[in-house]
């Protein structure tokens, strides 16, 4: 379907890590595809296969103005020769930011709806209205999160189990689909920590629990590092992104991975991780969401 490039796993070196007896490895999934990158490659994999198998020619999905998922779905649709429709939360703002401009350049039709209407995106009546309006489409949920995404991410987790020796897996969370899949596929001896980029992200615990086996208890959600909420990027976070890139040559996105990585380093500083532990930090991509010089995340 969509080509996948095997990604590196560099080890980061720091006096902080040596001081606390911690090894930090980074799985660079941001490098797995030029456009359908990071966890989006995994979450879309079986959705795309199913759409093609059912002979659909149109994909419809949902997202905000800076959605990695919208960006990736548009790119995947173009590569596979499928039409794409993006249901975008909120009003159109011109000029389009990089994410939406790219999606449109891939042929995606952008359809804006109010935030109130957007909250109905999973309701049957609303979906029926979309099918009446846009025809026989293949619907992919917000963030690509469904049983196909969980299955694919579980397979990815199993690969990591086999290929890498580590004690903790740290990753960022949006809708919780990637986290759920990683929990399902991960060895129970590993501990998983998901860092929410959403203010009030505690509700994700129940969302993730709904998608995972009840016997899986080796995970937690940390909501302490949202920096004001989804898409919020104060100067402290922007400076952190620059610093990490300068020191480790590790680019981070402003919406997800920077907040996760900030949280990981803060927890190391606080002695959260047992000495001698190896952390595997999952870089889930999203670099396309970083604003251009004249563009701000809101």
Buried-state track 51-88, b at ≥16 Cβ within 10 A, e below 16:
beeeebebbbbbbbbbbbbbbbbbbbbbbeebbbbbbb
By CB neighbour count within 10 A (0-12 exposed, 13-18 middle, 19+ buried), where does 285 fall?
A: buried
How do residues 119-129 score in pLDDT, each as one tens digit? Answer: 999 999 999 99
Q: Per the structure block, which two tokens stand in for 162?
A: 């086999």
CB 63 within 8 A of CB 70: yes
CB atoms within 10 A of CB 49: 14
pLDDT of residue 294: 43
Residue ranges and CATH numbers for the domains of the chain are 11-38+153-289 (3.40.50.1100), 40-144 (3.40.50.1100)
State pTM to two decimals.
Answer: 0.92
pLDDT of residue 297: 47
Give me the DSSP letters along 45-91: HHHHHHHHHTT--EEEEEE-TT-HHHHHHHHHHHHHT-EEEEEEES-
How do residues 85-115 score in pLDDT, each as one tens digit? Answer: 999 999 999 999 999 999 999 999 999 999 9
Q: Which residue has the tokens 């794409």?
A: 84
pLDDT of residue 290: 83
């Amino acid at each position: 379907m969509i080509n996948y490039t095997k990604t590196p796993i560099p080890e980061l070196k720091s006096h902080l890590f040596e001081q606390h007896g911690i090894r930090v490895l980074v799985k660079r999934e941001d490098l797995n595809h030029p456009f359908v990158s990071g966890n989006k490659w995994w979450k879309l994999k079986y959705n795309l296969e199913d759409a093609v198998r059912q002979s659909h020619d149109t994909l419809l999905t949902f997202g905000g103005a800076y959605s990695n998922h919208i960006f990736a779905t548009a790119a995947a649709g173009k590569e596979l020769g499928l039409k794409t429709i993006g249901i975008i939360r909120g009003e159109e703002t011109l000029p389009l930011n990089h994410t939406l401009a790219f999606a449109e350049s891939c042929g995606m039709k952008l359809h804006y709806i109010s935030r109130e209407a957007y909250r109905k995106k999973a309701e049957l009546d609303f979906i029926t209205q979309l099918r009446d309006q846009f025809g026989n489409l293949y619907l992919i949920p917000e963030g690509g999160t469904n049983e196909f995404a969980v299955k694919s991410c579980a397979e990815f987790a199993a690969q990591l189990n086999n290929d890498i020796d580590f004690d903790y897996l740290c990753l960022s969370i949006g809708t919780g689909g990637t986290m759920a899949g990683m929990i399902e596929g991960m060895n129970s001896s590993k501990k998983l920590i998901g860092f929410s980029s959403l203010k009030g992200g505690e509700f994700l615990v129940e969302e993730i629990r709904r998608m995972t086996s009840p016997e899986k208890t080796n995970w937690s959600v940390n909501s302490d590092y949202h920096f004001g909420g989804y898409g919020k990027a104060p100067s402290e976070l922007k400076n952190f992104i620059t610093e990490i890139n300068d020191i480790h040559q590790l680019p981070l996105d402003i919406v997800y991975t920077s907040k996760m990585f900030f949280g990981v380093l803060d927890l190391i500083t606080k002695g959260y991780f047992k000495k001698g532990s190896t952390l595997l930090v999952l870089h889930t991509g999203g670099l396309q969401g970083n604003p251009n010089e004249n563009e701000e995340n809101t």
